Amino acid sequence: MLNLLRWIPAFAGMTILTILAGCGPLVPPPSMHQPARTALLAAQDSSSENNPAFRIIHIDVGQGDASLLIAPDGETMLIDTGPPQTGAQAVLKIAKEMEITAINTILISHNHLDHNGSLAEILKDKVAAQAKIIDRDSAQIGEFLPLEGGVLKIIGVNGHIGEADFTPFVEDDENARSIALVLEYGDFRYFTGGDLTGGGGNPPYQTIDLETPLAPLIGDVDIMKVSHHGSHTSSNPAFLEILKPEAAIISAGAQNDFFHPHPSVVARYQKAGIELHQTKNGSICIVINGGTYEIKPYAIDKCAAPEIPDPMEEMP
């Protein structure tokens, strides 16, 4: 895992206080982290140490989800598309600003409109006309999806968690059928799982806990996308205890009708000392480069890579 190197340490707490207070567009300053080696990339013998930056952009699509992964060689993967119209507008705008010539793969975590509602519209654009589509019907447990210098592994889908089978319990819960992915790029680890359920909810809408059996398959991560927009069906304590993220991203619209994120979930992250960022304040960049990563608002510099200091210059 990467160790957090905060530029302004006090902002870790201020991030949470801002969220709890429901304030407007205030966002924390960029945070820089350093990674610790893990094992998933043993399946792919590659290193990012001498490569340009890898970027993850959590796109502000309103109440929904869309994340754009950009490898150092320009290969791209879009995970979810956001809701109809607003999702396509936001995704295509960022693709244009980032000078992306092709979205190579589109992965749809599950079949809810706030995650796949803009798929058809995005596919009509030339930037995604040749995109490979992966959804919960085509995804395979254990499947590796390589991106230059890194790899994503599918560790859960349709109620299959590793070798465990929970399918009888998820047939009527589309959220529980979400694709769960781990990304490794060098020493950086990241988890995203659509609207995966963690056993929360109020009867008769209690959800099945898929987070707890999934957690050991994920292990420590640097950053996670909070499942189900921070609903109280997500982020159970046992799950967070195993993942131990330094930072988490909540994708939810400002003043949304679902009251996401739930105050109890925000408090849980606060208690665990996990830095929170929300797309309601605008799209968020994660830039992994030279053994560190940086989290910052997209609006600052459109995900420019941070300058990595030369240790030789710091020697007396």
67-88 confidence digits (pLDDT tens)? 999 999 999 999 999 999 999 9
Please, are residues 273 and 240 in contact by the beta-carbon 8 Å criterion?
A: no
CA dist 231 and 46 (Å) reads 36
Dihedral, 77, 227, 190, 87 alpha carbons, nearest 10: 30
Q: Which token pair is 123?
A: 């596919």
Give the closest residue to 223 by CA, choosing from 267, 169, 269: 269
Query: Is cis: bond before 311, omega within 30 of 0?
Result: no
Q: Which amino acid is at 94?
A: I
Quote the CA–CA distance of 228 and 193 in Å, as a whole number.
8
pLDDT at 154 exceeding the cut of 60: yes
Q: Is 310's pLDDT higher than 80?
A: no
DSSP state of 229: G
Q: What torsion, rounded to 10 degrees, do the Cα atoms 7, 9, 13, 14 define?
A: -50
Average pLDDT over residues 302-306: 88
Q: Where are the alpha helices (DSSP H) in 4-97?
A: 11-21, 86-97
Q: Are 7 and 34 in contact (CB under 8 A)?
A: no
Pick from 76, 82, 157, 93: nearest CA to 119 = 82
- Give the model's confidence band at 302: pLDDT under 50 very low, under 70 low, under 90 confident, else very high: very high
Alpha helices (H) along the chain = 11-21, 86-97, 113-116, 119-124, 167-170, 211-218, 237-243, 263-271, 298-301
Phi, psi of 259 (to 5 degrees): 60, 35
- Tell me what pLDDT residue 32 has: 64
Distance CA 72, CA 299 (A): 21
Per-residue pLDDT at 314: 55
Residue 19: pLDDT band with limits 50, 70, 90: very low
- Tell me what pLDDT residue 124 has: 98
Q: In the chain, what are the domains?
A: 3-300 (3.60.15.10)
Residue 14 token pair: 């201020």
Q: What is the pLDDT of residues 114-141, one digit of tens each?
A: 999 999 999 999 999 999 999 999 999 9
Q: Is the pLDDT of residue 38 over 60?
A: no
Q: Where are the beta strands (DSSP E) in the chain?
A: 3-6, 31-34, 54-58, 67-70, 76-79, 105-107, 132-134, 144-147, 150-157, 160-161, 164-165, 180-185, 188-192, 223-225, 247-250, 275-278, 284-289, 292-297
Q: Which residues pair with 31 in a beta bridge?
A: 6, 295
